[in-house]
Amino acid sequence: MINLIWLLMILIGFAFAAINGNIEVVTQAAFDGAATGVTVCFGLISVLVFWMGMMKMAEDAGLLARIAKLLGPVVGFLFPDVPKNHPAMGYILSNMSANLLGLGNAATPMGIKAMQQLQELNPDKQTASPAMCTLLALNTASITIIPTTLIAIRLNYHSANATEIVGTTLMATIIATLAAIIADRWYRNRALHKPPRISKSGNPGMKG
């Protein structure tokens, strides 16, 4: 669906440009956008490679293990329906640790692995489990101590003080994470007190 929406927007843009006789403007904008995209990517690569290296050093030094250990009780509270020794817990901890350091690209593979493991625990394969919804909400609104990607973009555009957003970013992500947790708890409690659905066969269905 998203691909169709973007295709429709592109076709509409070309159509209006052709009607107004400005097709060369669209062509130039396309080339300029491509050039800007490549420039931004190169700027991001340098910073991300640096922080990925730092993260690897932190992992070898045991820092990530300490962060994961610190987050253990929190993750246990947020995911009460996931067994403590299940592989999903390790992936969730790795995902949250990477997000704390602003390494979204490193967090994504761990998040996908966690989702796959949570799907194995999911009794209803056609519907996301509460744990999967919790992970998605936390991954989207994760607390970020160092907004690496944003700093890289600001550096790429020659910001006078690229790191000045650290404080506001931390505050914004804390508020977003708290909102996500509150919403998650509310929906979980609502699901617990909701009567089970009765299927057509007359058997109780899953709570939803």
Could you list the mean pLDDT of each consecutive 10-residue stretch along the chain, which spans 208 residues?
82 80 77 76 68 70 73 84 83 81 74 88 87 88 80 79 88 91 88 61 48
165: CB partners within 8 A, 6+ apart: 147, 150, 151, 154
Question: b/e per residue, 133-167, with b = 16+ CB within 10 A?
Answer: bbbebbbebbbbebbbbbbbbbebeeeeebeeebe
**Separation CA 142–CA 17 (nearest Å):** 41
- pLDDT confidence of residue 196: 57
> Is pTM beyond 0.85 here?
no
- Rg (C-alpha) for the chain, rounded Å, is 22
- pLDDT confidence of residue 3: 83
- pLDDT confidence of residue 171: 92
Which residue, chain included where needed, has tokens 């396309």?
30
- pLDDT confidence of residue 207: 45
**Separation CA 7–CA 116 (nearest Å):** 31
- pLDDT confidence of residue 182: 92
Which residue, chain included where needed, has tokens 């062509």?
27
Closest CA to 64 of 95, 29, 27, 31: 95
**Separation CA 129–CA 120 (nearest Å):** 10
